[in-house]
Copies of this chain bind each other. A is one copy, B any other.
Amino acid sequence: MFQALADPTRRGMVERLSRGPASVSDLAKPFAMSLPAVVQHLQVLEASGLVTSQKIGRVRTCSLDTAALSLAEQWINDRRKGWEHRLDRLGDLLAENFDDPEQGGQS
């Protein structure tokens, strides 16, 4: 999933889809690349679970899947929270060590 988001074109597509579903040709418009290249990027996004698509008649419409986005968000959040929690504990330990242990931990 991070691999899917690592490419600026694909991030642009996710950005566009966050404003609503779009056909493949609509998605291709802002990018100076061939339709097959766009389709290849879409396949990476679909493989990662970030995007789903449905073909009705001759038009393939793409949508965002927020469950996958939530997963990536959660992973980052867990790492950040873990680190911040650790820094808080470190702060507490430093504060304790500046106290006089003979006085029962008061400063």
* Residues of A near any B CB (own CB < 8 A): 2-3, 5-6, 11, 14-15, 17-20, 64, 66, 69-70, 72-73, 75-80, 82-84, 86
Contact = CB atoms under 8 A, between A and B. Distances in A.
A86 B19 contact: yes
| A interface, over-half SS | helix
Which 10 pairs between the two chains have the least Cβ-Cβ distance?
A: A18-B82, A2-B5, A3-B6, A18-B79, A6-B6, A2-B6, A69-B80, A73-B76, A64-B83, A18-B83
Contact of A66 (B64, B66, B72, B84): B84
Contact of A11 (B2, B17, B70): B2
A18 B76 CA distance: 10
Nearest to A10: B2
A73 B78 CA distance: 10
Contacts of A3: 6
